[in-house]
Structure 1
Amino acid sequence: MSGLLLSDKNAVIYGGGGAIGGAIARVFAREGARVFIAGRTQAKLDVVARDIAAAGGKVETAQVNVFDQQAVEKHAAEVAVAGGSIDIALNAVSVMHDQGTFLADLSLEEFLRPIDGFLRTLFITSKAVAPHMGRARPGVILTLSEPGSKLAIGGILGHSVSAAGKEAFSRVLAAELAPSNIRVIGIRPHAVVDAPAAGSYTGELFEPMAAAGGQSVDEFLEGGLAQGTLLKRLPTLSEIAETAAFLASDRSGAMTGTIANLTAGALVD
């Protein structure tokens, strides 16, 4: 076990039944972590848990509404008791929102939906796990954002502001939690090419834009968005999960307050 990246670590993943959360949970378990996956839909959590258990990994599930602060804090305390600590936390919760609508036709509700939704869950989950992390055992909080945090294109006002907010949140939280031996690192993938096939909400998100161009979602991703990257392709679930495992491990112990750019060169920092 000593050669595994996350041997004897306890990791909690919110949105652990989703495409990205599930992929990361599987890799964390493979790398030796005891994985606690939480989310709104028990059936999705069970699918991930079965895969992990079949591969010999350690996993527990919990149906938790991440918008319920009291429920999230109760779950985090239970995880800390069961595992002895929380060493890694990841928020992979999805919030359906608008992309493609310009200001003139964008409602205030649609503008605020991703900002309130994503940042509310990020605040709630971070606040819940932080008291159970760090000090004698290094802690890591991983966050997810999108290239919209940096892009200046029309039609993504709410999406862009929410992505930038998540990155700012991660940066400032890293400064606050560093004295407690807790690192905070953001991961910024682009649209994930195989996520829709894995059940991600992005299939529904991108469908209107793809249809407007007479394309399928796969064509929109592989022939459209991918061509705007340096590598002429989009990141995969596997690449995101493998990177997350490294960032959560002690091998990246000098990294905090930064963003890992997994956009395949859509953005060059």
Structure 2
Amino acid sequence: MTELLPGKNAVIYGGGGAIGGAVARVFAREGARVFIAGRTQPTLDAVARDITATGGTVETAQVDVFDQEAVEKHAAAVAATAGGIDIALNAVSIMHDQGTPLADLSLEEFLRPIDGFLRTLFITSKAVARHMGQERPGVILTLSEPGAKLAVGGILGHGVSAAGKEAFSRLLAAELAPRVRVVDIRPHAVVDAPAAGSYTRDLFTRSAAASGQSVQQFLEQGLAQGTLLKRLPTLAQIAETAAFLASDRAAAMTGTVANLSGGALVD
């Protein structure tokens, strides 16, 4: 079967996390040379071992994505080594509050996901964009959540940050066209993320406890039932979608959102 990403150079920030690691494994399987960066070397090493065990090519780097200078140096080093950057994904997670209404929500808690997610997205996008689109078109992939459009209480900071990420991606697509495509991926809560070490378990602990359920039950029996498909996306489904979007088969897509919410949102 023909690989989707033969000879492509892909940088994944948060590459040791649940989503970032899943995407890195699929990118490598599809022929990309993968560069994974993050703050925790052991988790990066675990992903790298999986990739090399299946014959893939991967390099790791311990990088704090809040350090703009460090991110820019890393991107420049990748470009110098590989001859450019074709694909970039920011899969960095920022732990934040969900479930607290305005009356009890502090300004700090409200701003934490907005500042955290958008700051890292700005830093990483700026660092990679200058190394894209010279010899062949580049692709920047971003991640958001249904909170960008949901009208529910208790997710003020989360929802605003998700909407900000989608707006950032759309506007960046206009700015970088035609040499770089920008596509946002909007999954719902990921059903198998807790088992993969994601912060999803901590994120939904309060809501699950309030409903008398475990986090896994809350995901499978609570959130999933609010979707048209009655199921939440898996890490594999997100990773496979990311590989398609990063490939030349999706060359006509930019400035848009790939909705993987299971029908929690119908665009």
User: What is residue 240 of structure 1 aligned with on the other side?
Assistant: 238
Is there any run of 5+ residues in structure 2 with no aligned partner, and where?
none
Instruction: Report matched runs for 1:85-124 at 5 Å.
Output: 85-124=84-123
- Aligned positions, number: 267
Instruction: Report matched runs for 1:67-216 at 5 Å.
Output: 67-179=66-178, 181-216=179-214
* Aligned-pair CA distance for 1:133: 0.2
- Please give the alpha-carbon distance, in whole angstroms, between the structure 1 residues aligned to 2:67 and 2:52: 28
TM-score with structure 1 setting the length: 0.99
CA deviation vs aligned residue, 1:91-112 (integer Å, no higher than 9, x gap): 0000000000000000000000
- Please give the alpha-carbon distance, in whole angstroms, between the structure 2 residues aligned to 1:45 and 1:226: 30
Instruction: Report matched runs for 1:222-241 at 5 Å.
Output: 222-241=220-239
CA deviation vs aligned residue, 1:150-180 (integer Å, no higher than 9, x gap): 001000000000000000000000000003x
- Please give the alpha-carbon distance, in whole angstroms, between the structure 1 residues aligned to 2:176 and 2:31: 25
Report the AA paired with residue 138 of structure 1. P
- Please give the alpha-carbon distance, in whole angstroms, between the structure 1 residues aligned to 2:2 and 2:232: 30
* Aligned-pair CA distance for 1:213: 1.0
- Please give the alpha-carbon distance, in whole angstroms, between the structure 2 residues aligned to 1:196 and 1:70: 32
* Aligned-pair CA distance for 1:138: 1.0
User: What is residue 37 of structure 1 aligned with on the other side?
Assistant: 36
Matched residue SS, 2:12: strand
- Please give the alpha-carbon distance, in whole angstroms, between the structure 2 residues aligned to 1:108 and 1:191: 25
* Aligned-pair CA distance for 1:208: 1.0
User: What is residue 17 of structure 1 aligned with on the other side?
Assistant: 16
- More off after superposition, 240-249 vs 132-141: 132-141
- Please give the alpha-carbon distance, in whole angstroms, between the structure 1 residues aligned to 2:11 and 2:156: 31
CA deviation vs aligned residue, 1:212-235 (integer Å, no higher than 9, x gap): 111000100000000000000000
Matched residue SS, 1:132: coil
* Aligned-pair CA distance for 1:136: 2.4
Say what the alpha-carbon RMSD is for the aligned residues: 0.7
TM-score with structure 2 setting the length: 0.99
Report the AA paired with residue 111 of structure 2. L
- Please give the alpha-carbon distance, in whole angstroms, between the structure 1 residues aligned to 2:58 and 2:72: 19
Matched residue SS, 1:186: strand
Is there any run of 5+ residues in structure 1 with no aligned partner, and where?
none
- Please give the alpha-carbon distance, in whole angstroms, between the structure 2 residues aligned to 1:156 and 1:135: 41
User: What is residue 2 of structure 2 aligned with on the other side?
Assistant: 3
- Please give the alpha-carbon distance, in whole angstroms, between the structure 1 residues aligned to 2:119 and 2:248: 29
* Aligned-pair CA distance for 1:49: 0.1
- Please give the alpha-carbon distance, in whole angstroms, between the structure 2 residues aligned to 1:81 and 1:212: 51
Report the AA paired with residue 181 of structure 2. R
Report the AA paired with residue 31 of structure 2. G
Matched residue SS, 1:47: helix
